[in-house]
Structure 1
């Protein structure tokens, strides 16, 4: 199956404490498309504060939220990572929370509102939120219901597709009054990536990341601008960039190139990571007879990037890092 991949994202682990501080400062007065709070005087006073949505509209948040409803399953993981008071969340298309943080959601007794693509406004009312978070894009976006949601509680919109999870954490931290906690979460992750990089022996040559769907299907290959490639790069890997002329979609994205199966035979990387698979699942690529001469197959270096590696949030990013350390530890 070909996934509906996230929008372009930049390198995951390169955001330092200083960068997050800059993001927070900008959040006090900016009206950028990523969503910010303003003005500086209001921020100094604390509350209320004004959040600027991606379309330029603003949302006044009267007080520090204590009951957040996240209608976007893709945003919820970042909120949970810095302990935002989420009481309910939308789920994935299967009706389940993302596996990488489902246990955390269960521990915190977070209610499952609905599967992506559906909406039940009565369920939002029932949780009496003082802040609702909506995604600007994606299968879990509820932009068509934004007016109804704003009638229930202050509602902000974030564009997770155009940000790394670290940048999203900075935006959400400002909106929720948890900027320090969000910054600490990013800092801890960045430090863990640096530590992980010092523990591994990266295989010689380059690496690539493929969503392998087999013959007769498009097989997306991660570009260097993807979240997955950025994280591997921060761990010390050199990423093979797919030929953009292979792209079969109407628009070329910065994160993945959708390519015909036959082009996989021309890849040159000595290591291949298969998206959304563990090592066992990755063997479908390694055992494909048409791909027998691909360098990574020849060298027996085809690995799963992780079952939850499709949507990179704080939890899945940590899983990816842990998996790489386990595989390539010195």
Structure 2
């Protein structure tokens, strides 16, 4: 073939090579920067992964709108979050009454969180206070309903730690810091007022329910508010009970109460509707604080039986109004 014919042949097939090259490039995957995000990548922009107390990696929605966090409602409200359902007992009749101004229209859900009830609320995030709520294989079933985050292996009585952790989970760290700073300032001011007003006088919190008295331990629930936050002197009886306490409140007999060396008593009375007959007992009448008319009574609807930033601020208000504004 002559040189002229070879050049002519090459020119004839050149367009074919160009077309095949273009097709080959079109079939090659685009670079990572050029690829259009797929559904999974778009979803990951709306969530982040956190490891909970049980080691589960949980995909937390960036802006969850339908949260169930049974018995953690106090903390959520303090962070500016309203749950889609609220903790309840007795078929919804028993709720955390002190929170109801914040939970208007929020429907109750049974405290043990039946799967059917949880599903009916179509939650986009479940927050469990402890491992007990998800034991015996329940975690996997809850996780099928919605991302499920367990706060602690065991019930955590330190509400500050729980609030901080929930701030991390809900991407509200600044709100948690603000709440804690506000609480500490309120408690400090209250402690200074009480120190000036009552000095080293002591106080204790009692709960009367079903004709049985209970006394709060020194470092949990309202006991932590009285003694740790407000600096009120701890009675010897409370110190003794706290050594062997297995819960926030310990049963105590009237005979033991007569020996209670407390200048003031805060009485949470769950028996008020039934007559509170225990308060007519001569032994009760012989308690020094009762004789001095220094018993301050509150209903079980108040926050004294609970713990959290809102509950504890209300307890501080109750103490100050009782001992200072009396």
TM-score, normalised via structure 1 length: 0.70
Using the TM superposition, give the Cα deviation of residue 87 of structure 1 relative to its aligned residue in structure 2, in angstroms. Answer: 2.3
Give the equivalent residue in structure 2 for 1:235: 230
Structure 2: how far apart are the matches of 1:142 and 1:204? 45
CA separation in 1, counterparts of 2:134 and 2:250? 27
- Structure whose residues are more often helix by fraction: 2
Output one character per residue of 1:177-209: Cα deviation in whole Å (capped at 9) or x when no partner.
Answer: 111111211211221222233444237631112
Residue of structure 2 in register with 1:196 after alignment: 190
Q: Does residue 86 in structure 1 map to residue 79 in structure 2?
A: no
Q: Tell me, what secondary structure is at the counterpart of 2:283?
A: helix
Point out where structure 2 has 5 or more consecutive residues left out of the alignment: 1-44
After superposition, give the CA deviation of every residue in 1:155-180 in whole Å (9 maximum; x if it has no partner).
01124832322211111111111111
Number of aligned residue pairs: 272
| Alignment-derived partner of residue 182 in structure 1 | 176
The whole-number CA distance in structure 2 between the counterparts of 1:206 and 1:137 is 37
Runs of at least 5 residues in structure 1 that lack an aligned partner in the other structure: 1-44
Q: Does 96-105 or 149-158 show the bigger shift?
A: 96-105
- Mapped contact 2:207–2:268 kept (Cα < 8 A): yes
In the alignment, structure 1 residue 164 sits paired with structure 2 residue 158? yes
In the other structure, the counterpart of 2:50 is 50
8 Å contact kept, 2:68–2:123: no
Q: What is the distance in 1 between the residues matched to 2:283 and 2:167?
A: 48
1:315 aligns with 2:310: yes
Tell whether 2:256 aligns with 1:259.
Answer: no
Matches for 1:106-117 after TM superposition, within 5 Å: 106=104, 109-112=105-108, 114-117=109-112
Instruction: Report the CA distance shift for 1:62/1:210 in structure 2 as closer, same or farther (over 3 A).
Output: closer
Superposed CA deviations along residues 71-100 of structure 1, whole A, max 9, x for unmatched, are 51x211211111135223332345143111
Query: Highest Rg: 1 or 2?
Result: 2
CA distance in 1, matches of 2:130, 2:102: 25
Structure 1 partner of 2:41: none
1:202-217 residue pairs with structure 2 within 5 A? 202=198, 205-213=201-209, 217=212
**How big is the shift at 1:51?**
2.5
Distance in 1 between residues matched to 2:269 and 2:67, nearest whole Å: 28
CA distance in structure 1 between the aligned counterparts of 2:145 and 2:258, rounded to whole angstroms: 54
Residue 289 (structure 1) aligns with:
282
Partner of 2:13: none
In structure 2, how many angstroms separate the alpha carbons of the residues matched to 1:246 and 1:181? 36
1:102 and 1:261, CA in 2 relative to 1: closer, same or farther beyond 3 A? same
**Does 1:149 find its partner at 2:142?**
yes
**Cα pair distance change 1:82/1:313, threshold 3 Å:** same
Query: SS in structure 2 opposite 1:90?
Result: strand
Structure 1 pair 245/197, CA: closer, same or farther in 2 (3 Å)?
A: closer
Q: 2:68, 2:127 within 8 Å by CA — same for their partners in 1?
A: yes
Offset, 1:104: 0.8
The 5 Å alignment of 1:56-67 reads: 56-67=54-65
Deviation at 1:254, TM superposition (A): 6.3
